[in-house]
Structure 1
Amino acid sequence: MLVIGLTGDIGAGKSTVSSLLERMGAVVVDADKIVRQIWTRPEIIEAASKRWGKDILDENDRILPHVVASKAFYDETEYKWLCELIHPSVMVEMEKALSGDNGLKVFEIPLLFEVGKPEWVDFVVYVTASKEARSKRNLIRGLDEKAIALRERWLLPAEEKKKMSDWVIENDGDLQSLREKVDALGDLLLKLAYPIMVSVTCGGEEEAVNIARECIEKKLAACANIHPARSIYLWQENVEDEEEWEVSLKTLQCRLYPLRKTILEKHSYDTPVILVHPLKWVNPKALLWLKGVLGI
């Protein structure tokens, strides 16, 4: 599983990017949706109304987001109190979303750097755009420059967040331009999201070495481990007990089919047993190493 933290400037297009990645096959977790759910909890409503009064509630005692914003974004103390009220619960809910199938998971977290990058985020994608482009988009959402300034006053500078990110998407163009950028990045991320280990046993050390070298030289795998193995197996109704050599190859799923073809071409057995082991997680630096070696 590969976990991406998606963040960016207000009006830069984070939600559009996450939607495009979702269409490509990523599982998207939206922190803002979680926040909206948390605001329905009685204990949260009670804490906020005690702090700011009943005018933050509508006639049905539901939170009025724009009134809360007017309370929190004008004062640093109130803003920090709001963050301490909401963010721990958001993190708990997002960590629950980590369970499940392998693959690419994208967590859209507007305040990713401000609240602290979670240790379970492997890479960060930062979406940005010029002030002019963001202003036009935010006006459509009913946010003028004054409102944006209030919301951004407690945030880290954009340039600082860019430096802390692994990929930056500049979204100053049209939707087609953005789609092309996201398609390219999404294709890479989906490849990195499926690391595998491929193993096969051979009749001798020399054969194992030859297969390993061929796969490495063709950049079908990044590393091969070779070690002796004692194999007990059924063959033509007989129980065989043989000394073999096992090759384990570290690679990505996108290289599997040419890798399999190479193993079969180099192998001396009539029926070599090639096993593919999906890997639940590989550390980010190792994934980047795989990317570089395999030419992804």
Structure 2
Amino acid sequence: MLRVGLTGGIGSGKSEVSRLFQERGAVLIDSDRIAREVVAPGTPGLARVVEVFGAFGDEVLAEDGSLDRPRLGSIVFSDPEKLAALNAVVHPLVRERSAELEAAAGGEVVVVHDVPLLTENGLAPLYDVVIVVDAAPGTQLDRLVGLRGMTEDEARARMAAQATREQRLAVADVVVDNNGSLDALRARVDEVWAGLAERAERAGLTRPDA
């Protein structure tokens, strides 16, 4: 199994790159999706988040009992202490579930872990290859405002809460530039995928039935 860590700043297009890798045969383990699952209604994770933020005097539940993610985001991205408190609850649960999914992948050759905070949490050494999806800060800002409907202040706060572009690039084994068109992105992903397949072959990694 070739373990790939995929990361990129908010608005970089990392989710699209994840999807393209999955189309090409990778097993995708999406940390963002898992992070939502572990705080779904009725989970111990949600109960713990409510307990922690209740101690701060913050209400983080929506009327239907689910986590009010926009409300929580507005709280934590402007307060490093509260962001750290949230991460202390969610990150161990995400790591545990990710390990379970990786084990379930069995003989699949390339497993891509989509990890938004890979750089921030010093996780690069855990992977055989680290791929960074890169976009200029101005491009990120335009996407967050134009495509996600954030205000410019909200977008800048989200970007500032993450590692810098330079910090992400410093841990990259492979960079996927996503400042251009979707066609250019697909072509670059094809190149990277071919490289991953070659690396797996050199390492003698094959499916049991290959």
Category of TM-score, reference length = shorter chain: 0.7 to 0.9
Greater CA drift, 58-67 or 95-104: 95-104
- State whether structure 2 residue 100 is matched by structure 1 residue 74: no
Which has the larger strand fraction? 1
1:141 to 138, 148, 157: 148
One-letter code of the match for 1:78? K
- State whether structure 2 residue 119 is matched by structure 1 residue 113: yes
Tell me if structure 1 keeps the 8 A contact 2:12–2:135: yes
Cα offset, 1:9, TM superposition: 1.1
Q: Percent identity?
A: 29
Tell me if structure 1 keeps the 8 A contact 2:135–2:177: yes
Tell me if structure 1 keeps the 8 A contact 2:27–2:108: no
Partner residue of 2:108?
102
User: SS in structure 1 opposite 2:62?
Assistant: coil
Tell me if structure 1 keeps the 8 A contact 2:31–2:116: yes
Cα offset, 1:191, TM superposition: 2.0
Cα offset, 1:81, TM superposition: 0.6
One-letter code of the match for 1:68? L
Pick closer, same or farther for the CA change 1:119–1:97 going to 2, 3 Å: farther
Partner residue of 1:65?
69
Pick closer, same or farther for the CA change 1:279–1:25 going to 2, 3 Å: closer
- State whether structure 2 residue 164 is matched by structure 1 residue 172: no
Tell me if structure 1 keeps the 8 A contact 2:9–2:162: no
Tell me if structure 2 keeps the 8 A contact 1:113–1:161: yes
Cα offset, 1:161, TM superposition: 1.7
Question: Residue by residue, what CA displacement relative to the aligned partner does 1:10-51 show, whole Å, maximum 9, x if unpaired?
Answer: 111101111111111111111011001011153222222233
In 1: Cα distance, 2:12 partner to 2:190 partner: 17
Tell me if structure 2 keeps the 8 A contact 1:56–1:68: yes
Partner residue of 1:154?
161
1:186 to 189, 193, 200: 193
User: SS in structure 2 opposite 1:89?
Assistant: helix
User: SS in structure 1 opposite 2:111?
Assistant: strand
Partner residue of 1:9?
9
Partner residue of 1:229?
none
In 1: Cα distance, 2:151 partner to 2:192 partner: 31
Cα offset, 1:59, TM superposition: 1.9
Pick closer, same or farther for the CA change 1:133–1:193 going to 2, 3 Å: same
TM-score, length-normalised on structure 2?
A: 0.87
In 1: Cα distance, 2:95 partner to 2:8 partner: 18
Cα offset, 1:154, TM superposition: 3.3
Tell me if structure 1 keeps the 8 A contact 2:134–2:175: yes
Greater CA drift, 55-64 or 23-32: 55-64
Counterparts of 1:258-277 in structure 2, within 5 Å, are none
Tell me if structure 2 keeps the 8 A contact 1:127–1:168: yes
**Hey, which bits of structure 1, 4+ residues long, moved more than 6 A?**
none
Question: Residue by residue, what CA displacement relative to the aligned partner does 1:39-88 show, whole Å, maximum 9, x if unpaired?
Answer: 11532222222333473212221101001111111111101111111001
Cα offset, 1:119, TM superposition: 4.8
| Structure 1 gap segments, 5+ residues each | 197-251, 254-277, 281-296
TM-score, length-normalised on structure 1?
A: 0.63
Partner residue of 1:42?
43
Larger Rg: 1 or 2? 1
Partner residue of 1:51?
52
Tell me if structure 2 keeps the 8 A contact 1:128–1:170: yes
| Structure 2 gap segments, 5+ residues each | none
